[in-house]
């Protein structure tokens, strides 16, 4: 734990910069460098053609007095076509490169998030992770596909225009050389302020995304608790925070753009006035004056792209830091080089303690032996440690102290996928995955299972008639989070899904809680008919069938204080007896 704390401290001290952004892009986005360079080259060709067109227009205007040359018109048309082709190709290649790179980055993020350990999700909100995958990667896409290339071509346009203006008239160019630094002095500091505001908007947008995910996923709870007004207020407060930063952004832009336009118009006015004098004296042709004005625009216009790159990089560096926070988080060590596990025969907890947070022990000195084929009920008040105990069996967490053995060997010796493949788990709150009934039943299945087997299992849990009523049978879409399926149906589907894996250990967290008496009896009969060598641990909340369990474990404050059958515990364990009587007194 000390090492981990020091790593977090080191990361907090680290200051992210452009180097980290480039490292993220090259390492995880893996952009197609050849296409990107080709896109940049074509963009440069289009920029050079644009500069050449202006020069050719000068000759075209100056040639009016002497008759327009046909070859000049043809050359102008040819250059325009080249600029068009280069511009279209460049735009496509750079956008394609950006899309391809962000697709790879999102896929890498997705894979990494899937492989993160359970404790990571305990500490981080779902909506924020979703925002990283979608919003922050979009910021990187904008940088790769447009901002970077616009800035490079902007630099070429600025330098090329400046050189050509110097060739046309040195004195007029001095005016531009005065205007450009003045505009830069305004744009750069205000761009930095805009970058900070934009970062705040990104942060608040991520918070809104997180809150909206939670609000949508908990919509039934919200309506059941008549809490719509509270949630509306929370949402309004969140969007108003975004509005506050957005208004600040709008104010700056509203001030910045008119100031820059006034400076630009003033410069153009001076150029036209002074240029008109030069034309009258014969020091400058009309064509040269028009070309100079066009070059001035071509030089000043890209300034926003060049300075905007600084702002975009700063914004993207912020996104990089958040994405790196995920990608640098260690994935779950699945111990793939560990031993295989063909079946779970024995489980032994030897003085096991577990802390979610250092210093706050949740499981305390657990000593427990489980043999193959046992049917065990695990009971106790909420917060007594029941779910944490089975979470250790699923290898979601490692014991803080003590040792957990499987088949006489430390669980740490086995590959985690091998352990989990031997466990079927049914939670009390069942969320089905998006997809069809078949997709859900076969989730995580390690061997092929035919439809007849699935249908048979569904019939055994009382879902046969319901399945026949579905127009698409096993191909029926269950809807988001299984909302097209009732709670009782979801629980029975989850039981079938667990049994399809043919586990050697079945963990049920009150698997019949949402069932009526008839279907509860069906599921209980199915569980009674399971193979004799299948070990079953059931977290029991309702004690109406507790007498049927040969072995009952009673937990209090992270300890197992009772171990025996119902008759034994009633006689020897006062707290169990009280717990049992209270259950029946309150129905």
DSSP track, 246-283: HHHHHHHHHHHHHHHHHHHHHHHHHHHHHHHHHHHTTS
- Tell me if 508 sits within 8 A of 461, measured CB to CB: no
Q: Is 340 helix (H, G, I), strand (E, B) or coil?
A: coil
Task: Report how far apart, in Å, the C-alpha atoms of 373 and of each of 7, 479, 550 are.
Answer: 44, 36, 11
Query: Is 128 tagged catalytic?
Result: no
| Residue 532 three-state SS | coil
Alpha helices in 25-69, H assignment, sequence order: 33-62
Q: What is the DSSP string of 64-132?
A: GGG---HHHHHHHHHHHHHHHHHHHHHHHHHHHHHHHHHHHHHHHHHHHHHHS-HHHHHHS-HHHHHHI
Residue 333 near residue 327 (C-beta atoms within 8 A)? no
Q: Is residue 157 exposed (0-12), middle (13-18) or buried (19+ Cβ within 10 Å)? A: buried
CA–CA separation, 310 and 586 (whole Å): 67
CB 271 within 8 A of CB 263: no
Q: Which of 34, 337, 304, 14 is nearest to 155 (CA)?
A: 304
List phi, psi (to 5°) of 451: -65, -35
Pairing relation of β-strands 346-357 and 401-406?
antiparallel
User: In whole angstroms, how far apart are CA 142 and each of 18, 95, 136, 470?
Assistant: 15, 9, 10, 45
Beta bridge partners of 477: 436
DSSP-based three-state secondary structure for 301:
coil
Q: Which of 510, 521, 556, 568 is catalytic?
A: 510
Determine which helix (DSSP H) or strand (DSSP E) holds 566, and give its type and residue range.
Answer: helix 566-572
Active-site residues, by number, are 510
């Amino acid at each position: 734990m000390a090492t981990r704390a020091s790593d977090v401290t080191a990361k907090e001290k680290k200051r992210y910069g452009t180097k980290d952004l480039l490292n993220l892009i090259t390492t995880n986005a893996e952009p197609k460098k050849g296409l990107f360079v080709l896109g940049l080259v074509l963009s440069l060709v289009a920029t050079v053609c644009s500069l050449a067109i202006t020069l050719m227009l000068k000759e075209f205007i100056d040639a009016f007095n002497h008759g327009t040359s046909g070859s000049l018109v043809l050359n102008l048309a040819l250059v325009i076509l080249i600029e068009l082709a280069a511009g279209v190709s460049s735009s496509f290649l750079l956008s394609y490169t950006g899309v391809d790179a962000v697709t790879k980055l999102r896929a890498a993020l997705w894979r990494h998030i899937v492989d993160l350990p359970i404790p990571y999700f305990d500490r981080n909100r779902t909506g924020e992770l979703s925002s990283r995958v979608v919003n922050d990667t979009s910021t990187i896409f904008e940088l790769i596909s447009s901002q970077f290339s616009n800035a490079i071509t902007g630099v070429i346009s600025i330098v090329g225009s400046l050189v050509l203006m110097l060739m046309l008239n040195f004195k007029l160019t001095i005016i531009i050389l005065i205007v450009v630094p003045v505009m830069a002095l305004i744009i750069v500091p205000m761009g930095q302020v805009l970058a900070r505001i934009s970062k705040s908007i990104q942060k608040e947008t991520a918070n809104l995304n997180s809150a909206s995910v939670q609000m949508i996923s908990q919509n039934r709870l919200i309506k059941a608790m008549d809490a719509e007004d509270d949630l509306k207020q929370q949402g309004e407060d969140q969007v108003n925070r975004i509005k506050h930063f957005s208004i600040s952004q709008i104010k700056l832009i509203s001030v910045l753009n008119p100031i820059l336009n006034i400076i630009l118009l003033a410069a153009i006015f001076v150029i036209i006035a002074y240029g008109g004098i030069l034309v009258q004296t014969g020091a400058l042709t009309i064509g040269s004056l028009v070309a100079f004005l066009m070059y001035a625009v071509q030089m000043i216009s890209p300034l926003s792209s060049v300075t905007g790159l600084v702002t975009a990089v700063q914004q993207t560096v912020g996104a990089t830091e958040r994405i790196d926070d995920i990608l640098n988080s260690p994935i779950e060590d699945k111990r793939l080089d560990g031993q295989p596990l063909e079946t779970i025969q024995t489980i032994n907890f030897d003085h096991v303690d577990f802390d979610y947070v250092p210093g706050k022990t949740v499981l305390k000195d657990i000593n427990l032996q489980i043999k193959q084929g046992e049917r065990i009920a695990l009971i106790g008040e909420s917060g007594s440690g029941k779910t944490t105990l089975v979470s250790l069996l699923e290898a979601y967490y490692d014991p803080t102290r003590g040792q957990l053995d499987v088949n006489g060997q430390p669980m740490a010796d086995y590959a985690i996928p091998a352990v989990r493949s031997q466990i079927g788990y049914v939670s009390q709150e069942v969320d089905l995955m998006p997809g069809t009934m078949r997709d859900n039943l076969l989730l995580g299945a390690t061997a092929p299972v035919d439809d007849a087997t699935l249908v048979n299992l569904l019939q055994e849990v009382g879902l046969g008639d319901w399945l026949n009523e579905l127009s698409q049978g096993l191909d029926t879409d269950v809807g988001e989070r299984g909302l097209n399926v009732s709670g009782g149906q979801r629980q029975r589907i989850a039981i079938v899904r667990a049994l399809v894996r043919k586990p050697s250990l079945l963990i049920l967290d009150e698997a019949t809680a949402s069932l009526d008496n008839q279907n509860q009896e069906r599921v209980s009969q199915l569980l009674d008919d399971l193979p004799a060598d299948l070990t079953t641990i059931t977290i029991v909340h309702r004690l109406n069938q507790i007498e049927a369990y040969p072995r009952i474990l009673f937990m209090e404050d992270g300890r197992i204080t009772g171990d025996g059958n119902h008759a034994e515990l009633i006689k020897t364990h006062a707290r169990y007896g009280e717990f049992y009587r209270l259950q029946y007194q309150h129905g």
